[in-house]
Amino acid sequence: MNLLFKLLRQNVSLVQIVGFFLVNLLGGFIVLSGLQGYRDFSSFAASDDNILSTGNVVITKPVTTAQTLGSMLGLNTRFSKREIKELADYPSVTAVGEFVAARFEIRAVLTLGNSRMSTDIFLEAVPDEFIVGEYEPVGDDRRQWSAALDDKVIPIILPRNYINLYNFGFATSNGMPQISDNLLKSFPLQLHFSTPRGRVTYEARICGLTNRINTILVPWDFMQAANKKYSPEEKTDVSRLILKTKAGESNDSLLEFLSAKGYIIEGDSSHIRLQTMVYGILFVVIGIGMLFSLSAFFMLVMSILLLIEKNKEKIANLYAMGYSARQASCPYLYMTAMVDVAVWLCAALLATFLYPLFSGMISDLSPGFVPESLLGMWGIAAVMALLFVIMHGIVVCRRVNGICRYN
């Protein structure tokens, strides 16, 4: 190999090789960082309750004056079975859940020292699969989200804006103490259910706060059992739905679909738009990186073809004296493989050192953001290097074979 390399390395343009190396290094770094960012972001968006989470979307129908006046005539804000099926069939919707409200009166009582406060409240439930990851636990409360009718204590989830409303609206203007999340957890809150059989009392354990579902939630099974046992009424129609959307996908089209149907999205849908924007930025970044890498790929192709062209006579002479096309290709195959592997190795190393600086900044801004392992990125670098080696190898072999043939 040494003699052959000594012969065929002549005319190698170092400037072209360095040019390829630098452009592909930049492209490779951007691609690998972009893909790692995509992976981290997708996992982040699919996991915890956070501002960027895909999360769930709660929808209702608009309440109009006509409906208010016409409710007796049958105008209502309920979702029909057909409408629910249509939503369930929408491509980016993975599940549709119904809100079930308590069909009996409930009074919440809070006793603090000698003072006793009470108010009528309502409880609702959604299927448990929609609860997973949808709330932030109060303190370290991550106990099971379930309760049976004969339990004494039932877990509940409050909307965070209730607490915010109290802390920053009521408490400050009325000289009342503000409530921290941890304090909230220890509140002795009692729920009195008024049922045909009399009053039933439960201790409520506030186990979490949610930004997404604007209601007081209890476990699904508990609510079903309570309605069945404590309410003589039949099941009521559904006027609020919760949709689970696919993680890792832009949900802009879903928002347009819901808007076209005249449904109202509860709360703020800006997280979905923000998510779409982040995905858009990531795609652009990855696209730019791919463009750099592809340019570099073709730069090396041109460079190597030029080199082979300059050495065409030498290759023909090698062939005439007994070398096979494969043997004559070896120096070029070896050279391109070395450069390809080196460049992707360096790109992966660069991304390994520089990407954590970026992901660290995101983690600081959004504590729920936990970067994934970089092993996947190394796998992609290895695949890309292999792909480049194979593609460059094919180009080299085809050209050298073109020289090593009958004259």
Partner 1 sequence: MIDSIVFDNVTMKAFADVPRQGAPSMLWNTKSVFRKGLSYLIESESGSGKSSFCSYVCGLRNDYTGKISFLSNGTAVPVDSAAASVPLRQRAIATMFQELRLFPELSSLDNVMLKNRITGYMSQKEICDMLSRLGLGEYIHTLCGRMSLGQQQRVAFVRTLCQPADFILLDEPVSHLDDTNAGIMAQMLRERVEKDNVGVIVTSIGYRLPYEYDCVVRL
* 109: β partners: 118, 190
- Determine, following the binding rule CB under 8 A, whether residue 324 of this chain makes contact with partner 1: yes
With residue 59 as reference, give the H or E element that holds it. Answer: strand 56-60
How big is the site for partner 1, counted in residues (CB under 8 A)? 20
Angle between helix 270-310 and 14-46 (nearest 10): 160
Contact stretch for partner 1 (CB under 8 A) within 43-51, 191-199, 302-310, 319-327:
319-327
- Can you read off the two tokens belonging to residue 124? 């609702």
- Determine, following the binding rule CB under 8 A, whether residue 398 of this chain makes contact with partner 1: no
Q: Which is nearer to partner 1, 4 or 299 (CB)?
A: 4
The distance of closest approach from Cβ of residue 333 to partner 1 in the complex, given in angstroms and rounded to an integer, is: 17
Count CB atoms within 10 A of the CB of residue 63: 13
- Determine, following the binding rule CB under 8 A, whether residue 325 of this chain makes contact with partner 1: yes
Task: Report which of 200, 119, 191 is spatially closest to residue 162, judged by C-alpha positions.
Answer: 119
The distance of closest approach from Cβ of residue 13 to partner 1 in the complex, given in angstroms and rounded to an integer, is: 17
- Which distant-in-sequence residues (6+ apart) come within 8 Å of 110 by Cβ? 116, 117, 118, 187, 188, 189, 190
Q: With contact defined as beta carbons under 8 Å apart, do 128 and 136 qualify?
A: no
Query: Tokens 């012969």 identify what position?
Result: 7
The distance of closest approach from Cβ of residue 10 to partner 1 in the complex, given in angstroms and rounded to an integer, is: 6
Q: List binders of partner 1 among 327-346 (CB under 8 A).
A: 327
- Determine, following the binding rule CB under 8 A, whether residue 74 of this chain makes contact with partner 1: no
The distance of closest approach from Cβ of residue 393 to partner 1 in the complex, given in angstroms and rounded to an integer, is: 18
Parallel, antiparallel, or unpaired: how do β-strands 198-210 and 153-159 relate?
parallel
Query: Tokens 């999205």 identify what position?
Result: 265
Q: List binders of partner 1 among 9-38 (CB under 8 A).
A: 10
- Determine, following the binding rule CB under 8 A, whether residue 320 of this chain makes contact with partner 1: yes
Q: Which is nearer to partner 1, 58 or 318 (CB)?
A: 318
- Determine, following the binding rule CB under 8 A, whether residue 4 of this chain makes contact with partner 1: yes
Q: Which is nearer to partner 1, 271 or 399 (CB)?
A: 399
- Can you read off the two tokens belonging to residue 196? 């045909």
- CA-CA distance, 361 to 16, in Å (whole number)? 36
Contact stretch for partner 1 (CB under 8 A) within 116-124, 198-206, 318-326, 380-388:
318-326
The distance of closest approach from Cβ of residue 310 to partner 1 in the complex, given in angstroms and rounded to an integer, is: 12
Contact stretch for partner 1 (CB under 8 A) within 82-90, 116-124, 265-273, 312-320:
312-320
Q: Which of 118, 180, 270, 317 binds partner 1 (CB under 8 A)?
A: 317
Burial call 97-123: b when 16+ CB within 10 Å, e when fewer = bbbbbbbbebebeeeeeeeeeeeeeeb
Q: Which is nearer to partner 1, 10 or 161 (CB)?
A: 10
Parallel, antiparallel, or unpaired: how do β-strands 93-98 and 240-245 relate?
antiparallel
Task: Report which of 234, 212, 20 is spatially closest to residue 130, judged by C-alpha positions.
Answer: 212
- Determine, following the binding rule CB under 8 A, whether residue 236 of this chain makes contact with partner 1: no
Q: Which is nearer to partner 1, 229 or 312 (CB)?
A: 312
Q: Which is nearer to partner 1, 282 or 315 (CB)?
A: 315
Question: Which chain residues interact with partner 1 by CB under 8 A?
Answer: 3-4, 6-7, 10, 314, 317-325, 327, 404-407
